[in-house]
Amino acid sequence: MQVSRSLKKVIFWLLGIPVTLLILGIYHGLMQTIYRAGFLNDSSFLKIEYFQGLTLHGVINAIVLTTFFAVAFGHACMTFFLKREPNKKAMWISFWLMVIGTGLAAWAMLAGKASVLYTFYPPLKGHPFFYLGTALIIVGSWIPLFDWARMYREWRRENPTTKIPLAVLGTLVNFIIWFVCTLAVAYEVLVLLLPWSMGMADINVTLARTLFWFFGHALVYFWLLPAYIMFYVMLPKLAGGKLYSDLAGRIALFLFLLFSIPVGVHHQFSDPSIGQNIKFFQGLLTYGVTIPSFITAFTIAASLEYAGVKRGSKGLFGWMKKLPYLDTNNFMFAYLIAGLILFIFGGLTGIVNASYSLNNVIHNTSWLPGHFHMTVAGPVFLAIIGMSTYLYAKMSGKKIFLPKVNVIIPYLWMIGVLIFSTGLMWGGLIGEPRRTNLGMTYLNPKHELFTPEWVPTTMLALLGGIIMFIAAMLFIVVFFGTIFRKSKLEAVLELPYSEAYHDEKRIPLFDRFKPWLVTMAIIIVIAYTPALYDAVTNPGPKAPRFTPANPVPDLLKIKK
């Protein structure tokens, strides 16, 4: 379909800006593995200290890239499936708020004034611009939801009995989750953190953490749902088959609306201020949020099996051999399937985390980054970078630069993540902490080992990190190589979409938002009222502000 120049421009910038910043984000990812393996002293390199680099890595990759992409992909899905365009003014206001917000936060991080990590918990204190920047990114990303809701209502009036397109349902569910969960973090930033960072007030650390995690776990589904839209709507078609059940997709998406938010306390199982009962309840709800992913696993596996059978496969697992893994003209398949394979392990390790007793073993160890690199750096990252290249190339009418390299990238990345996460999780199980390099390195200046058990684990993570870095740099070459080519094809907005094998009749419950929104609100109130009550009434000691030194003092020298 042909779209306006303005929409094209917004989408191109929303894709291009975070991919440019990604160069910095990925570089700092590699540096983490190098520091942790003990090969470099961070303060000696580019004058960026460990926590500053880790903050840049987390904020650019997990907040900026994901949010910009979700908005760009949302514009594309809403326009393509509803056959109408977003409001120009709203699009540009949202875009500029996000860009200004990113600029403020980036300045604070690069100047070494906000080395507070992507979770920005107090008492780590950042420059007010960091918090203001984050708030602007969030507010900017709210605007499209209201405009898309208008587009949806218009479409609904014209099509009262048609099922809402799955991609539109997914986009709206995702941004409703995002809107509700970011209300908590907006409160945390504007009412608690900003005045505290300016020295105007004390802070209740437990309340700040609880509000952060109200947002923080839903955030991971905000990252995930664009990938799920691609799995349900596009992957079966790309595989050469059909979506096994349309209804399964609808149920899964609505279940995310119910369970994404009231589970944040599973990040606080070790926080003493929050009571056992509420931890138990939110632990149970966490198992609830795995259900839509299990539905997805079975539905997508069935869809892929159908595609394999259509391609002539034989036997129980023969379909796996028949899929178009290396088809350069159909490269999105490679990006999506590599992400799905990683998510099998990312999901299973999530279930380990959700168990209260096992959580005691792995909390705050390097197991955790092992888990989340197989989720956010798995299906999420691969879907984002693959779709960024796809959308850009289609909408600009350009051919993909180095198509054979492009189709290898996701598998190279997948191998890197599998090695990297194995190293981290193995290390975590034998006590290797996350988010620290013990003052630079696990090795002392004479290269005598502090903890010999962590040498193979950090080396494995380093090897995986190097492979991931190479894959990411190849992506940068392909993405910008495509941008700098001359347009030769027709420039259109075109997204692949699958027919359904079981195209069930329209069931009003799975075509309306109201009953789900009401249930969502009830569960959130039940799950979060006692947690917030505990946080307010049992805050623990007030925390003094703490700004990490830049560079972090060398603990080894201090010891001597």
Catalytic residues: 217, 221, 371-373, 434-435
Minimal distance in Å, beta carbon 283 to ligand HAS? 7
Shortest Cβ 449–ligand HAS spacing (Å)? 27
> Rounded to whole angstroms, how far apart are CA atoms 144 and 363?
36
Q: Using CB atoms, what's the residue nearest to ligand HAS?
A: 347
Q: How far apart are the first and last CA of the chain?
A: 68
CA distance 410 to 353: 26
CB-nearer residue toward ligand HAS: 237 or 371: 371
For the chain, the maximum distance between any two Cα atoms, rounded to a whole number of angstroms, is 76
Q: Which residue lies nearer to ligand HAS by CB, 127 or 371?
A: 371
Q: Cα 49 vs. chain centroid, distance in angstroms?
A: 25
To ligand HAS, the closest distance from the beta carbon of 492 in angstroms equals 30
Q: Which is nearer to ligand HAS, 300 or 471 (CB)?
A: 300
CB of 28 to ligand HAS, least distance (A): 16
Q: Which residue, 398 or 434, has its beta carbon nearer to ligand HAS?
A: 434
Q: Taking the complex as a whole, how short is the minimal distance between the CB of residue 14 and ligand HAS, in angstroms? A: 20
Report in angstroms how near the CB of residue 482 gets to ligand HAS at its nearest.
26
Q: Nearer Cβ to ligand HAS, position 151 or 424?
A: 424
Cis peptide before 123 (omega within 30 of 0): yes
In the complex with ligand HAS, which residue's Cβ is closer, 380 or 552? 380
Q: Of the two residues 10 and 380, which places its CB atom closer to ligand HAS in the complex?
A: 380
Least distance (Å) from ligand HAS to the CB of residue 157? 35
Amino acid at 267: H
What minimum distance in Å lies between the beta carbon of 557 and ligand HAS? 30
Q: Which is nearer to ligand HAS, 293 or 366 (CB)?
A: 293
| Residue the block writes with tokens 């290898």 | 408
Taking CA atoms, 31 is separated from 223, 342, 448, 475, in Å, by: 24, 23, 21, 19
Under DSSP, is residue 347 helix (H, G, I), strand (E, B) or coil? helix
- Smallest distance, Å, CB 379 to ligand HAS? 7
User: Which tokens is 458 given?
Assistant: 């950090």
Cα–Cα distances in angstroms (integers) from residue 505 to residues 161, 247, 370, in the given order: 11, 9, 42
**Bridge partners of residue 500, in order along the sequence:** 243
Burial class (CB within 10 angstroms; exposed 0-12, middle 13-18, buried 19+) of 424: buried
**Burial track 326-345 (b if 16+ CB lie within 10 A, e otherwise):** eeeebbbbbbbbbbbbbbeb
For ligand HAS, the closer CB: 175 or 372 = 372
Non-local (6+) Cβ contacts of 521 within 8 A are none
What are the φ and ψ backbone dihedral angles of 256, each rounded to 5 degrees? -60, -35
Q: How far is the CB of 95 from ligand HAS (least distance, A)?
A: 24
User: CA 410 to CA 481: how far, in whole Å?
Assistant: 17
DSSP string, 3-50: --HHHHHHHHHHHHHHHHHHHHHHHHHHHHHHHHTTS--GGGSTT--H
Please check whether residue 330 is in contact with residue 386, taking contact to mean a CB–CB distance below 8 angstroms: no
- Classified as helix, coil or strand, 243 is strand
C-alpha to C-alpha distances, 438 to 51, 122, 459, 496, nearest whole angstrom: 11, 20, 16, 48
Q: Which of 537, 527, 529 is nearest to 273 (CA)?
A: 537
502: helix, strand or coil: strand
- Token pair 């996350």 is found at 434
Residue nearer to ligand HAS on the CB measure, 128 or 292 = 292
Q: Tokens 């393996």 correspond to what residue? A: 37
Binding site for ligand HAS (CB under 6 A): 119, 220, 223-224, 266-267, 286, 289-290, 293-294, 296-297, 300-301, 304, 320, 337, 340-341, 343-344, 347, 350-351, 353-354, 359, 363, 368, 371-372, 375-376, 380
Query: What is the distance between the alpha carbons of residues 558 and 560, in angstroms, rounded to a whole number?
Result: 5
Structure tokens at 244: 């096994």
